Amino acid sequence: MIYSITSPKLKLPADAQHPLFALSMQRKLRNLYDGEFFKYREGSQEYTYPDRSPSGEAYLVEIYDQKEKYGHDKYNAIQYTQSRQPRVLNEGGKFYASFELGQYLELQGNPAIHVGKDFTLTVIGDSDLPRPMISIFGDDDFISVEPGSPTNRFSFNTVSGSISKNSNNRINQLFSGIDPTQNNRRVITMKSDGAGRGQNLSNNTSTNFTTIAVGKSKTRMFAGKFIEATLHLGDLTSIGSDKVWEEAKIAY
C-alpha cells in the first residue's frame, strides 16, 4: 500500500516547496509521484517497493529521490557494498531501514554542492544514542542531525546544540536561516517531537560540502531506524518550515 497523508491546510513536503531531495521508505512525499520508494536485496536478487514487498531477510540498496526540481536530477541514496547495506524491517505493515554501525548510503549526483547557509532538513527516525542519522559534509564543514534518547543533537560547523529530556525522537527538523522572532538574526533551530526545541545563534556558515549521507557523518556512524528525509533550501521560509513540520507530525 502507498501511504499518502495530507491535511486540508497542509501539503506534502515536496509540494510545499521543491526540495533538493525527498527520500522516504514508507510514503509519497509528492502528490503526483508514481515511482518506487526503495530497492532492496534478498540474497542475490534485487526488487523494488511497493512493486514487491520484502518477504524475507532484506537489505537496502537504494532509496529513490521523489522530488521534482528544475535543473536538478534525482539524487538517489545508494549503497552497493553488501556489508554496508542496512536491513529492511517491517513494523505494522510499514517498512524502515535498520542501521548498524558501519552501514550507510550516499546520495549520488553531487547534491551537496547546492546546499547553502539557508536550509530546512526534516528527518524521521530514531536511535538510542545521539548519532548522525543524516549529514552533509566536506573536509571541514558539516551539518548533522543526531536523534537519540533522551538527548538529540544538531550541528552546523562549530555551532551545535542539544534537546534534552526527549520523550519522542521520531520527528526532527533542523532550520538554518533568519528568524524574525530573534530580531532577524541568523539562527539554527532544532525541533524534536515531544521535546520542544533548541536554538543557537549562528555565524559560522561556511558551506564547502562534498557529500550527503544517510547513516554517517565523515567517520562517525549511525545505528538506529531511518524512515524519511527531506532537504529544502533557502526558498522555503521559516513559516514554510513550520508547515512541513506540522505535516510530518500528522503523518507520523
Q: What is this structure's pTM? A: 0.93
Q: How far is residue 169's CA from residue 119's CA, in Å, rounded to a whole number?
A: 21
pLDDT at 204: 78
The three cell numbers of residue 81 are 557494498
Q: Of 74, 49, 73, which Cα lies nearest the Cα of 61?
A: 49
pLDDT at 1: 42
User: What whole-number percentage of the chain has pLDDT above 90?
Assistant: 69
Distances (CA, A) of 153 to 101, 107, 147, 198, 220: 18, 22, 6, 9, 14
The three cell numbers of residue 83 are 556489508
- Cβ-in-10-Å burial (0-12, 13-18, 19+) of 161 comes to middle
The per-residue pLDDT for range 167-199, each reduced to its tens digit, is 556 889 999 988 887 788 888 888 887 555 566
The per-residue pLDDT for range 108-166, each reduced to its tens digit, is 999 999 999 999 999 999 998 899 999 999 999 999 999 887 788 889 998 888 877 65
Name all domains of the chain by residue range, CATH numbers in brackets: 13-251 (2.60.120.200)
Residue pointed to by grid coordinates 515511482: 35
pLDDT at 216: 97
SS3 200: strand
pLDDT at 186: 83
Residue pointed to by grid coordinates 547495506: 85
More confident residue, 174 or 7: 174
Q: How far is residue 91's CA from residue 32's CA, in Å, rounded to a whole number?
A: 26
Average of per-residue pLDDT across 204-209:
90
pLDDT at 195: 55
Phi, psi at 12, each rounded to 5°? -60, 150
pLDDT band at 3 (very low <50, low <70, confident <90, very high): very low
pLDDT at 167: 54
Phi, psi at 114, each rounded to 5°? -90, -5
The per-residue pLDDT for range 43-92, each reduced to its tens digit, is 999 999 999 999 989 999 999 999 999 999 999 999 999 999 999 999 99
SS3 218: coil
SS3 percent helix, strand, coil of the chain, rounded to 5, is 10, 45, 45
Q: Which residues, in sequence order, are CB contacts of 44 under 8 Å at separation 6+?
A: none
To which H or E segment does residue 14 belong? Answer: helix 13-16
The per-residue pLDDT for range 91-104, each reduced to its tens digit, is 999 999 999 999 99
Q: How far is residue 46's CA from residue 33's CA, in Å, rounded to a whole number?
A: 22
Note whether 199 and 187 are within 8 A (CB): yes
